[in-house]
Each structure stands twice: as structure tokens, then as C-alpha cells.
């Protein structure tokens, strides 16, 4: 019986495994130079599973009085295909919480996000790689917006990467009356890559870079100094938190999203129907070119052209600044360029003729519309970011030309077949009919169905600038909402003000304090000015 040498070898294996696990944990704070490989069940930290395997081998060794090769293989990858990550992967109770959160509290919404990822993941990964960044940082866009180019938060962050105006402009994104490149999936990804690269160069850790992406560089600098720390986990725990809950949860949420997105079946997200990868060709068009005309020349519907060019905020490309690169479906470039070249310059351009006015005391959008001889719906379609109930003195309002603005995609594509006969519903939507009631406006209808009011004219061939009671409208609402499922739009973010409490905030949005606590993982009703709360509507 020679158990002692065998047990010694096994103990050394145990110590070696523990040592390797320690090294792995330390490396994960600053980012490994090589991809991380996870083959164990991701609901357990890898080192725990290694220790469990070796302990079992010791038990088997003592019971069977024989040497096996298993002890020397403990912790090695199994025969199953390995899943690799190029960002650090640390799995702890906080990460496990968000795995469970995505699985049990918002599975329908997360399925929609996963399906939408098929459209953008290949392009975004390629851009991150081009900038020398880990490709798995793409999952920041998953938790920021669910890969939605139309995402808009109450903090005024916009697009798939949720840039605020200042940061977006700092990294080269154009934001003006005509375009908002924060919504451009390609340009905003380049900007996000540059920003993340700068953050990593400053903090030396992808976890800290991600936290700074959420909270700002200054906040993370001060947190590191306050805690005398150099890693994310140290500054995001303790009894008295310095970082807001949103930032403390940001990295665990990113890790959980990456784990699920890479192995959706393992976590119960089966049979995901991924959207086709984004594909397009680029053509140069003259300033002021009507999108309705461009859509007709490309042989597509205006809303399809909008999907390829989500940065465009109006019915035409910018009227100044030179030629504009417009995206059109693959395979249509040659035909488009021939037809566009034959079209007289005057017929290419949309009518502009609008004026800008400032809001005065006592003004309403209705009064401004009557003063300038346009309908309220026309005025609202020209100003999609203005809430008619929250006008501010001095605020700028763009007034369309009299009698037909906003020279919309529907108007400028006259002659094409009626939009009432759209062939099928746009992706992720369901067709319904709405009968106009007394007091209805495009804004009220859009708010009711959680859609953009400027889309309604595009979906209806008749003139919708002056709605009539009894008029029938075709609407394409998010399919999840149409079926009574979770809303596909990104939740709003409310910044707590002095004097706020959960009850007053809940009453403002028509939700309960308990819902606010559940959505924000609050253990109590205590909130402070500056806190950011997620509000789902």
C-alpha cells in the first residue's frame, strides 16, 4: 500500500490548481493578453469546479486504492467545444444575479435583443477589431440599448452605444437638425471604440473602462482615489457606496450578457431567429436629396431606406455640406446611379422652405401651428423631440412650409404605390388598425402604441397631416407589444431630483413604487438626487 506518495501528488495537484485559479482571478482585473476559455458551467467560478474535481479524485483514490490519470487532468478543458472570450470573465454572485435576472425577469425582451444582435454583431466586431479592441466589448451595446439605433434615454443618451451629445461630438459624431450620427450603427461604433480605447489607456482595465463608459472618467478616478484601489470590484462594494447602483451593476450585467449571448441554448434562450447581418452599398447624392425620391430610385419603401440610414432625422439628406453618402440595399447601386443621373437636379431635392421660431410665454404648439397656417400634426412631425406638454420659453420650434410639409417621404414619393398596401409588416412588428377618435393627434396615437409619430404618415398613403374622426390608420407596432408581451423599446432613465420619492416618480409615469424598486433592484425606498432610475413603460 503506497498511499502517501499518491496523496502527495494529488495534494500538489490541488495546490497547483488553486494557484492557477488565483493567477486567473488576478489577471482578470486588468485584462488577459490571451482569450479566456470557459468550459465549465458558467454558474460556478472556474476555480471552484477545479477544486471540486480534484477533491473527488482524492476521494476516489482513497476508496479504490489505485492511481488514475484523472487527477492529473483536473481542470483541463473537456471534450466539448470551448467558448472563448477576449475580455476578462469573472463569475461571482453579482454576475449570477444578472444571469438569473435576464432568464427570469426579462426573458422576452432579452430574446428580442439577441435576435436583433444578428444584424449588428458582425459589423461591430469587425470595427472593434480594427481599432485593436477586444471584440467582446460589443456586449456593452447589448446592455446599453439592446442593439437599437432608436434607443433614447431620459438622460438624452442616444443610439446603440448611448452617447450623450458632448461625448458624441468629442469623438467626431455629427449632431444637428438634419442628422444624429449617434444613431448610425457604423459611425457610432467607431466612436465607441475610440472612447473605450482612451478609457483603457487611462485605467488599464477593461472593467474600469466599462464602468467609466457608464459613469464618466472623473467619477471612476475619484472612486479609485477614495478607496485606494486599482480594480472595479473594490470600488463597487462596501456598505457605503460611492458609485451609483447603475454603475455598480454595469460590469456584472455586461459579463452576464456576454455569457448568455455566446451560449444562449445553455441558458434557456433556444430557437432564437437572428436578423440578417447589416448589408448595404453606398451612393453619393446631392445635398437636399429627398429620401422619398431616393427610395423610389432604389426600388424600396421609404421606411426601408430609413432603416439603413437611421442617422437622418428629416425627409432629406442635409441641404449643405457637400455630397452625402447614402446607404441603399446591396445590388441596387448600379441601377440607382443610372436613374439618379437622369433625374433633373430640381426633382432630386425635397422642398425645404421652413422657418424657426422661439417659444414665448403662453405659447403652445397648437397656437404656433395656427399662427403659421400649418396643422399641429405637421408641426409635431417636424419637431419629433419636442414634448407638446413641456414647451420651454425660448425653445426653438421648426415650422414647415405652408400646405404640405414635412414634404415627407410619402409626399415626395407620390406616384409610387400606396403605402397602405405595404407588403407584409416591417421586421419585429405587427400590423394593426386604429380608428381616429376626437382629440387624437399623431403624437397621442404614437404614445399609445409606443411608436414614432413621424412613422405614421409613412405607413398611410392618404394625407395624415389633418386627422379626421373615424379615419382609419395602419400602424406597425412592436410585435411583442401587439401580443401583450414585453415592450421592445428601451426603458427610460429618470434622474432623481431634489424632493423626489418613489411615489411621486411612479405617479408621474403611471407605475407603482414597488415596480420602480423591482426594476432597479432597490432593497429600500431610499433615493438621492442624481440617482438614475430605470422606468419601463
Residue among 193, 400, 215, 415 nearest 314 (CA)? 400
Three-state DSSP state, 300? coil
Which cell numbers hold the place of 102? 435576464
> How are the residues of the chain apportioned to helix, strand and coil, as percentages rounded to the nearest 5?
50, 10, 40
Residue among 498, 459, 499, 490 nearest 477 (CA)? 459
| Contact yes or no for 275/119 (Cβ under 8 A) | yes
Q: What is the DSSP string of 416-467?
A: BPPGGG-SSPPTTEEEEEEE--TT--HHHHHHHHTS-GGGHHHH-SS--SS-
Catalytic, 452? Answer no
| Contact yes or no for 67/114 (Cβ under 8 A) | no
Identify the burial level of 27 via C-beta atoms within 10 angstroms of its C-beta, where 0-12 means exposed, 13-18 middle and 19 or more buried.
middle
Which cell numbers hold the place of 328? 441603399
| Contact yes or no for 340/283 (Cβ under 8 A) | yes
Separation in Å, CA 104 to CA 6, 108, 528: 46, 9, 29
Burial 481-517 (b: 16+ CB within 10 A, else e): bbeeebbbbbbebbebeeebebeebbeeeebebeebb
Q: How do strand 281-285 and strand 472-478 relate by DSSP bridges?
A: unpaired
Which cell numbers hold the place of 509? 409615469
The rounded Cα 233 to chain-centroid distance in angstroms is 25
Q: What is the DSSP string of 219-239?
A: HHHHHHHHHT-SSHHHHT-SS
Which cell numbers hold the place of 237? 462594494
Separation in Å, CA 197 to CA 85, 128, 166, 255: 18, 10, 18, 19
Alpha helices, DSSP H only, in 31-92?
Answer: 46-64, 70-73
Residue positions counted in the chain: 537
Burial 382-401 (b: 16+ CB within 10 A, else e): bbeebeeeebeeeeebbbbb
Catalytic residue among 57, 96, 144, 491: 144
Three-state DSSP state, 135? helix
Q: Which positions are annotated as active-site residues?
A: 144
Amino acid at each position: 500500500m503506497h498511499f502517501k506518495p499518491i496523496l502527495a501528488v494529488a495534494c500538489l495537484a490541488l495546490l497547483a490548481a488553486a494557484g492557477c485559479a488565483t493567477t486567473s482571478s488576478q489577471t482578470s482585473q486588468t485584462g488577459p493578453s490571451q482569450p479566456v476559455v470557459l468550459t465549465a458551467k458558467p454558474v460556478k467560478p472556474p476555480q471552484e469546479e477545479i477544486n471540486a474535481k480534484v477533491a473527488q479524485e482524492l476521494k476516489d483514490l482513497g476508496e479504490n486504492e489505485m492511481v488514475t490519470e484523472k487527477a492529473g487532468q483536473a481542470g483541463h478543458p473537456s471534450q466539448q467545444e470551448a467558448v472563448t472570450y477576449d475580455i476578462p470573465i469573472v463569475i461571482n454572485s453579482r454576475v449570477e444575479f444578472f444571469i438569473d435576472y435576464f432568464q427570469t425577469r426579462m426573458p422576452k425582451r432579452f430574446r428580442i435583443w439577441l435576435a436583433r444582435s444578428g444584424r449588428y454583431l458582425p459589423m461591430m466586431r469587425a470595427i472593434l477589431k480594427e481599432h485593436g479592441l477586444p471584440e467582446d466589448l460589443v456586449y456593452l451595446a447589448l446592455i446599453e440599448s439592446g442593439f437599437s439605433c432608436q434607443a433614447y434615454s431620459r438622460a438624452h443618451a442616444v443610439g446603440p452605444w448611448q452617447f450623450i451629445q458632448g461625448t458624441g461630438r468629442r469623438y467626431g459624431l455629427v449632431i444637428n437638425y438634419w442628422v444624429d450620427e449617434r444613431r448610425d450603427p457604423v459611425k457610432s461604433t467607431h466612436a465607441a471604440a475610440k472612447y473605450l480605447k482612451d478609457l483603457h489607456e487611462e485605467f488599464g482595465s477593461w472593467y474600469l473602462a466599462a464602468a467609466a463608459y457608464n459613469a464618466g472618467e472623473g467619477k471612476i478616478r475619484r472612486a479609485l482615489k477614495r478607496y485606494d484601489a486599482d480594480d472595479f470590484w473594490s470600488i463597487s462594494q462596501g456598505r457605503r457606496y460611492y458609485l451609483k447602483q447603475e454603475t455598480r451593476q454595469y460590469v456584472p450585467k455586461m459579463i452576464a450578457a456576454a455569457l448568455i449571448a455566446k451560449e444562449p441554448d445553455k441558458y434557456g434562450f433556444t430557437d432564437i431567429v437572428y436578423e440578417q447581418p447589416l448589408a448595404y452599398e453606398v451612393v453619393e447624392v446631392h445635398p437636399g436629396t429627398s429620401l422619398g425620391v431616393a427610395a423610389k430610385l432604389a426600388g424600396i419603401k421609404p421606411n426601408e431606406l430609413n432603416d439603413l440610414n437611421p442617422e437622418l432625422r428629416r425627409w432629406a439628406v442635409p441641404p449643405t455640406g457637400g455630397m452625402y453618402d447614402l446607404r441603399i440595399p446591396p445590388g441596387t447601386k448600379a441601377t440607382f446611379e443610372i436613374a439618379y443621373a437622369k433625374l433633373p437636379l430640381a426633382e432630386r431635392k425635397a422642398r425645404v422652405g421652413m422657418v424657426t421660431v422661439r417659444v414665448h410665454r403662453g405659447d403652445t404648439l397648437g397656437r404656433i401651428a395656427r399662427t403659421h397656417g400649418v396643422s399641429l400634426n405637421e408641426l409635431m412631425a417636424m419637431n419629433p423631440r419636442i414634448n407638446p406638454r413641456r414647451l420651454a420659453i425660448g425653445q426653438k420650434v421648426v415650422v414647415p412650409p405652408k400646405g404640405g410639409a414635412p414634404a415627407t417621404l410619402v409626399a415626395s414619393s407620390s406616384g409610387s404605390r400606396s403605402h397602405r398596401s405595404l407588403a407584409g409588416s416591417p421586421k419585429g412588428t405587427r400590423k394593426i388598425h386604429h380608428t381616429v377618435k376626437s382629440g387624437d393627434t399623431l403624437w397621442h396615437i404614437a404614445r399609445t402604441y409606443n411608436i414614432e409619430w413621424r412613422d405614421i404618415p409613412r405607413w398611410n398613403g392618404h394625407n395624415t397631416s389633418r386627422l379626421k374622426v373615424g379615419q382609419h390608420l395602419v400602424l406597425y407596432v412592436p410585435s411583442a407589444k401587439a401580443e401583450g408581451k414585453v415592450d421592445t423599446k428601451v426603458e427610460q432613465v429618470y434622474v432623481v431630483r431634489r424632493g423626489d420619492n418613489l411615489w411621486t416618480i411612479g405617479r408621474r409615469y403611471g407605475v407603482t413604487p414597488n415596480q420602480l424598486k423591482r426594476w432597479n433592484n432597490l432593497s429600500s425606498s431610499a433615493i438621492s438626487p442624481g440617482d438614475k432610475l430605470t422606468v419601463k413603460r
